[in-house]
Every structure is written in C-alpha cells, then in structure tokens.
Amino acid sequence: MLAKLRDPSEKALAVLLLAPAFVLLLMIVVYPIGKLVYNSLFAIDKGGAFLGLQNYIDVWQDPLFWNATQNTLLITLITVPGALLAGLALALLANLPFKRKWPVRLSLLLPWALPLSFSGLIFAWFFHTEYGVVNDILSRLGLQSEPTSWLLKPRWAFAAICLTVIWKTASFMALILLAGLQMIPKSLYEAAEVDGATPWQQFWQITLPLLLPSIVVALIFRTITALQTFDIPYTMTKGGPGEATETLAMLIHKYTIDYSDIGFGSTLAVFMFVISLAVTGVYLHHIGKNAQ
C-alpha cells in the first residue's frame, strides 16, 4: 500500500492531482449554478413552494432590471472599444526602442495591480465638483466657467465612470497587445522599409493583421469583465444619482445582500449567467478554431 502511494500508477496519480482542483470547481462554480436555478424557481425564503416562472416574470417587469441591463450594456459598448483604442495606443508607444524599459513597464503594470475599488475611489476624488483635479484642469484651460458636477448629474456620472473603467483596463490591454507586437518579426518591417512602405502603411498592412489574434483574445476577456462591472461604479457613485449608473452586478448585490431577497437576486444572476455564457461560447469557439 505504501509502495503504491509512493509510486502510484499514472492514472491514479492523475486522479489524485486533479481531484483538489475539480472538487473546488464543483463546490464553488458548478454547485452554485445549479443552486441559482433552483433558487429562481422556488420560494426559497418563504417555505420553498414551487413558483414556476413567477420570479422571471417579476424580473422582466422590473424597470430597475431594464435600467441596470441598459447601463451594463452601455458600459460594455463604450469601455471595451475605448480600452482597446487606448490600450493599442499605449502598446504602440511602449513598443518603441527605449534604452530603459522598466519605467514604461511599471507604468503599464501599476493600473493593472491597483484594485478596481481603489481606482474608483481615486477617480471619485479626481471628479469631485469643488476640489477635483479634473475640474481644476478644465477651468485652467478655459474649457468651463462653472465647475461641472461630475458625479451628481446622471450623464456626467456615467461618463466619469466610463473614463475610469477605460483608464483602469487600458493598461492590461496594452500589456497583452505589447506581447503580441513583440512577436511580430522585425524582418517584415525591414522588408517593407526596403519596398518603401510608409509607417502608416506598415501599421495597416503588417502590424494590425498580425496583431489581430491578440486583439480578439483581449476583446473577449475585456467584454466578460465589463459585463460584471461592479467595483468602480460602487465606489464612485453607489449607482447614483438615483439609479443612473447602477449595473446588473450592483442590482444583484443589492437584492441579495441589502434586501436579502435570495430568489429575486438568483433570478437576476441567471439572466447575467446566460449573457456571459453567450460571450464564453464565442470565446471557446474561437480557441477551438485556433487549436485546429
């Protein structure tokens, strides 16, 4: 027995090694998903009677759900392309032949390592109406005579949150794209140079097509995280003013934790799960295609 443990067969060893990971995945990912669906169908806090689709109908008729869905989709549609463009610009700049690489690298890593919630707090202070640096700069440049109440007006608050999300995520995007840029063979550019291609042409003919795989992967990852946006709006506006910046994740948190309405929270989570599953499907399809 002891000898067997010390040198188990390959199969036994594989099971032994993979077991902890899969037990944890079962407990914290698979079981919860089943539980969510159960919660959404039964009166979980009121005796456990079968409710059918009542929760789903309630969610469907809840204006807060539609408001949060709209905000979440808008944040995704604005910040994902925004972070891609900003990240691409940062990556192209960072790819220049610097003598010392560490200041640039550290500058790209710092926003990634900063907790989302801290970014939210810092930018809430940036966008402070009276003492914020954003209004200070805008006033000094003569772009506004009256300070803008960034976080107190629905549209401005939404814009401030989107800008914060883009700043926070563009650096990670840049790191992924930079790795892609560095894999493009230098000889291609040298050949293009010989043929008289302008930098502009080189960008469109060489850089962008060869970078496309990295861009797609970065976009899918970013889309999945954008759909879950929680920390930044929570720390900047708590979803306000009113519910102008409330996302789906915040609504789920509010119903589950603040109102202790597990059934409604679970039903909202099922909706969110389905949306994410669609994006994940696209992703898995994409890597499946690449693996072939």
The interface with other proteins within residues 105-124 (CB under 8 A) comprises 105-123
Determine if 104 is a binding residue for other proteins (CB under 8 A). Answer: yes
String marking each residue 160-199 x if it binds other proteins according to CB under 8 A: -------x---xx--xx--xx---------------x-xx
61, 103, 141, 292: which one binds other proteins (CB under 8 A): 103
List Cβ<8 Å contacts ≥24 apart for 241-245: 241/151, 241/152, 241/153, 241/154, 241/157, 242/154, 243/64, 243/67, 243/68, 244/71, 244/154, 244/155, 244/157, 244/158, 245/71, 245/154, 245/157, 245/158, 245/161
Question: How many angstroms separate the CA atoms of 191 and 131, rounded?
Answer: 54
Determine if 49 is a binding residue for other proteins (CB under 8 A). Answer: no
In the complex, minimum distance from the CB of residue 21 to other proteins, in angstroms, rounded to a whole number: 4
Contact region with other proteins (CB under 8 A), list: 54-62, 90-98, 150-158, 204-212: 90-98
Q: Are 112 and 172 within 8 A, CB to CB? A: yes
In the complex, minimum distance from the CB of residue 169 to other proteins, in angstroms, rounded to a whole number: 12
Contact region with other proteins (CB under 8 A), list: 6-14, 52-60, 76-84, 153-161: 6-14
- The tokens describing 261, both together, are 């309405």
For residue 209, cis peptide bond before it (omega within 30 degrees of 0): no
Determine if 146 is a binding residue for other proteins (CB under 8 A). Answer: no
Determine if 82 is a binding residue for other proteins (CB under 8 A). Answer: no
1, 61, 63, 140: which one binds other proteins (CB under 8 A): 140
Closer to other proteins by Cβ: residue 88 or 176: 176
* DSSP conformation letters of 127-167: T-TTT-HHHHHHHHTTS-SS---GGGSHHHHHHHHHHHHHH
Question: How many angstroms separate the CA atoms of 149 and 164, rounded?
Answer: 16
Determine if 217 is a binding residue for other proteins (CB under 8 A). Answer: yes
Rg of the Cα trace of the chain? 24
- Binders in 235-254 for other proteins, by CB under 8 A: 235, 248-249, 252-253
- Binders in 13-32 for other proteins, by CB under 8 A: 13-14, 16-18, 20-21, 24-25, 27-29, 31-32
